[in-house]
Amino acid sequence: MYKVASDEGVKEMKPTEAHIRYVLTEIESLMLKLRKAFDSTNKRETLLPLRMAVHLMMQMLSDEEPRRIYYEIHARAKEPKNFEQLIYFLDRYDSDMQLTYEMIYCIWLLSFNKRFAQLFYVDKVSDMKTFSLLHFILKNTNTEKVIRITISLFRNLVTSESAKLLTCLVRLGVPKTLDNFAHGSFQDEDIMTEVNKLVEELEEYIEQISSFDEYRQEVVSNRLCWTPVHKSEKFWRENIKKFAEGDYILIRMLTAMLVAAAADAADVSEEALPEDASLPTMESLNVPEITTTLDPTVIGIACHDIGQFVSFHPRGKKILEKFGTKFLIYQLMEHPSDT
Predicted pLDDT at 202: 85
Predicted pLDDT at 42: 66
Q: Where would I find the H helices in 159-270? A: 163-171, 174-182, 189-209, 212-220, 233-239, 245-263
Of the listed ranges 3-12, 59-68, 312-321, the least confidently predicted one is 3-12
Predicted pLDDT at 80: 45
* pTM, rounded to two decimals: 0.63
Mean pLDDT computed over every residue of the chain:
81
Predicted pLDDT at 70: 85
Paired with 4 in beta bridges are: 11
Q: Which long-range contacts (CB under 8 A, 24 or more apart) does 176-184 make?
A: 176/233, 177/135, 177/138, 177/139, 178/151, 178/202, 181/147
Q: Which amino acid belongs to residue 203?
A: E
Predicted pLDDT at 79: 46
Paired with 13 in beta bridges are: 2
pLDDT digits (tens, 9 = 90+) for 100-130: 999 999 999 988 877 776 666 554 444 577 8
Of the listed ranges 51-65, 228-242, 294-308, 322-336, the least confidently predicted one is 322-336
Helix 316-323, helix 325-334: angle, nearest 10: 80
Mean pLDDT, rounded, for 212-218: 84
Residues 299, 339: contact at Cβ < 8 Å? yes
